[in-house]
Amino acid sequence: MWIATQDGYFSAVQHRDKPDTLMVRARDSKDLQHIRDWGYDTGRIIAMTNADYPYRIIIKKDEWARYLVNATTAIDYVNFKSRIHEVDRPRGDIYLKVWRELLHIEDDDWDRELVAVVAADEDAR
């Protein structure tokens, strides 16, 4: 699972030997430090210079779920791309490139009339 939050960019995968545990990986150790700063039980940050993601933490699934819930309830912005640019412009530029690349998987067959109806309905709220 890839996750991008105000705290950082993470890749969360099942721990090979512990069914109730994840390995959360990052490219920047500061991203993982943010999770630790929130008070989650992660143990130390492991550095592996020969790995795809050079930094990782071991965290129980329920702890990671708590982090995701708290990161979600802490959202106070209306535009994620703008917020990331405010707090970390170089990272914001990278996230924007990822966002642009993800446009390539957008459904070409979406119903434009339905979208217009939904948008009008949301504007009426």
Q: Which of 34, 4, 40 is nearest to 21 (CA)?
A: 40
Q: Which residues pair with 47 in a beta bridge?
A: 55
Let me know whether 65 and 89 are in one domain. Answer: no
What is the CATH classification number for the domain harbouring 62? 3.10.28
Q: Are 68 and 84 within one domain?
A: no
Q: Is 32 helix (H, G, I), strand (E, B) or coil?
A: helix
Instruction: Give yes or no: residues 120 and 82 share one domain.
Output: yes
What is the pLDDT, as a whole number, of residue 104?
A: 85
| Domain count for the chain | 2
CB of 82 closer than 8 Å to CB of 65: no
Q: In this structure, are 9 and 65 located in the same domain?
A: yes
Q: Are residues 65 and 118 in the same domain?
A: no
Q: Which residues contact 100 (CB under 8 A, 6 or more apart)?
A: none
The domain containing residue 10 runs over which residues?
A: 2-76
Query: Residue holding tokens 């109730």?
Result: 20
pLDDT given for residue 110 in this prediction: 63
Nearest alpha carbon to residue 67 among 23, 11, 21, 5: 5
Sign of CA dihedral 68, 72, 76, 79: positive
Q: What are the pLDDT tens digits along the chain (125 aa)?
A: 999 999 999 999 999 999 999 999 999 999 999 999 989 888 899 999 899 999 999 999 999 999 999 999 999 999 999 999 999 999 999 999 999 999 888 776 666 666 666 555 555 55
Domain boundary at 76, 92, 117, which?
76
